[in-house]
Amino acid sequence: MNSNSEVKLRQFRDTLELAGKGYIFIGIWNVIKIFMTYTMQQSLMDELISDLKAQELSSKEINATLIFAFAFVSLFIIMIHFYIGLGAIKYAREKSVKKGYLVLSVISLVITAGLLPLYFLGADYGGNGVDDKDIASILVDLTMIFIFVDILYSTHMIKKHSATADDKEAIAG
Amino acid sequence: MQEDFHYYATYCAAYLAGYDHAECMDICYSAQFVDLCSATLLSKIKAPAAAATTQLQLEMMDTRTDVIGLQNITRIWSSFHFLPKDLKASHNRRPKVYMNKYRLICGPNGELVKRTAELAKGKSLQAAGIAMHVIADTWAHAYFAGTPSLVINNTTDDFYEIISGDEGETERKIHFRHSTSTPDDPGNSIYSNSLFQRNENTIMNLGHGRAGHLPDYSFIKYRYMPAWNDYRIIVKDNPSDYWNAFCQLIYAMKYLRYDIGEFSTGTYSYDIAAPYETRIKTILGKRQIKASDDWKAFGEELSGEKIEDFDINRYQDEYMSTSAENRHDTFLGKFTDAAIAHKSMVCHEIYSSGNKLTGFEKIVHSVNDNRNGLFKKKHG
């Protein structure tokens, strides 16, 4: 009941479940950020609208395009986050053995880590250097990287200690 | 523990230790009174509030959980219901803030159990009763702390009852519901417990709330995972623990009667209880919420006397009608004196260990300090 493998299994399952929940919350936060951008960041919206006006679209068409674009992006983000998060949670609770969430985790980790330097290269539009908004975004991205690493590590350790626990059961049996 | 053990079982243990019926009644009444002596009651009878040995639910709803409030809560609950086992316990990679609470985890046979018995020796029967309550609770309330703390007292929801049968032990999941008005249902393993509260210092995280009343039921053996145990499961064998508690009470009371020279922890009067072992273990193992009737019948068979039912009002008139100078010689006067002394001892030990969760108890107050008016409350 309290062998090293069993204790470690509980610990890493708990960690994996927590990481999964954390990633889902970050996904919800990203959608809220998108909504806030759509409703409050006037300069960005003006730029987008002027780009669309250049294509000779009516106001209604512009609005519809913007709403559709933001809804599509939000949905895509939520789906990714929930797929990874729920996959991790189900694996932690032993309700699933599928590890598809790991593939997406690795891809997301590479993308997030790869894009991190862009904050410092001034590649974001409308700004020079790193401002407060960027610092907040960097912190969130670092948190996501930590969560990805945690998910990968915890999954690996669960697999390792499950094998050890199974071996011990087989020997005891 | 509940009235069945604190009142009736303590009576039985006291009788087996050698006390007569009247002395047993004083001891067991005092033991049970520890669960009822609140600031509200003390205010009603105009007794010192410092003698409070418990807090009512309504009092706890109103109590503050700032530093002073937490110290007051911890002083009462750690002293009388969750006596710390090891004030010098160590744990790797934990800050002082955490260790202060970790070191308040209750358990049997700690150094403070010995100090409790030694303090009660040569004192009143009321002091003996208080000591017996405290010692008994170290068995029932083991693995929980008498301070509000999420990181210590929280548990997962996975509680499993371990049931012994003809084919060995089986497990049955315990279902918790958060309904204090509905009685627990041992037949279907449905019990009440406190809701999960994220706040570290909320009163809901005091003691064994997350395990409901399971620690107070003598029949149940169960396993669960507490927050402090680093993902290790604890198996709580109440029938075995209560048997040890009963035998230790006999031993402790023989020590208080000077039949034994020195009190040693981890020592039990199994030999004295042996003739009644089957009877006692049957009571302990019987699947019932309260075993008062069974313990009462056993006690009355032992002594041949009738054990009066517990009455919280029994000694209050005596106390209130006595002049202030003479109250220390009344039943409740002796109880309050002993309670203040015990609380002071425990809090002093906690403070001396470098832990300020019970405040600054630099001086140990003796029984006589209350007699000398140190805690005199002025009433209009």
- Taking residue B229's Cβ as centre, other Cβ atoms within 10 Å add up to 16
User: Which is it for strands B175-177 and B234-237: parallel, antiparallel or unpaired?
Assistant: unpaired
Does residue B104 lie within any of the structural domains?
yes
Least confident of A124-128, B61-65, B296-300: A124-128
Tell me whether residues A11 and B231 touch, CB distance under 8 A: yes
Which residues span the domain enclosing B74? 3-152+238-371
The separation between CA B41 and the C-alpha centre of its own chain, rounded to angstroms, equals 19
Band of pLDDT at residue A127, cut at 50, 70 and 90: low
Mean pLDDT, range B11-21, rounded to an integer? 97
B231 to A7: CB separation less than 8 angstroms, yes or no: yes
In one-letter notation, the amino acid at residue B115 is R
Number of domains present in the structure of chain B: 1
Distance from C-alpha of B344 to C-alpha of B362, rounded to nearest angstrom: 9
> E-strand spans in A122-165?
none
User: Which band of pLDDT confidence, cut at 50, 70 and 90, is reported for residue B378?
Assistant: very low
Task: Calculate ∠ Cα B29-B35-B37, nearest 5°.
Answer: 85
CA B308 to chain centre: 22
pLDDT of amino acid B216: 96
- Indicate the domain borders of chain A: 4-172
Which chain B residue's Cα is nearest to A9?
B231
Q: Which residue of B has its CA nearest to A10?
A: B231
Task: Look over chain B and give the mean of its residue pLDDT values, rounded to a whole number.
Answer: 92
CA distances from B265 to A8, B24, B113, B251 (A): 34, 23, 7, 10
The tokens for B199 are 């706040």
Q: What is the ipTM of this complex?
A: 0.78
Residues 6+ apart with CB under 8 A from A49: A62, A66
Integer Cα distance of B50 and B341 in angstroms: 10
Asked whether the beta carbons of residue B233 and residue A1 sit closer than 8 angstroms, the reply is yes
Burial of B304 (C-beta count, 10 Å sphere; 0-12/13-18/19+): exposed
Instruction: Give the mean pLDDT of A65-74.
Output: 85
- Write down the pLDDT at residue A37: 78
Beta strands B190-192 and B221-224, pairing class: unpaired
- What's the one-letter identity of residue A9? L
Query: Does B380 score more than 50 pLDDT?
Result: no
Q: Is A84 helix (H, G, I), strand (E, B) or coil?
A: helix
Please compute the mean of the pLDDT values over residues B126-150 and round it to a whole number: 97
Distance, CA of B1 to CA of A96 (rounded, Å): 42
CA angle, residues B56, B335, B370, in degrees to nearest 5: 105
The answer to whether the Cβ–Cβ distance between B235 and A1 falls below 8 Å is yes
Task: Encode pLDDT of B296-354 as tens digits.
Answer: 999 999 999 999 999 999 999 999 999 988 999 999 999 999 999 999 999 999 999 99
B84 pairs with which residues across the strands? B106
User: Out of A11-15, A166-170, B341-345, which region has the weakest mean confidence (pLDDT)?
Assistant: A166-170
Best residue of A1, A2, A12, A18 to probe chain B, by most B CBs closer than 10 Å: A2
Structure tokens that stand for B121 in this block: 């020796």
Q: How far is B323 from B333, CA to CA, in rounded Å?
A: 11
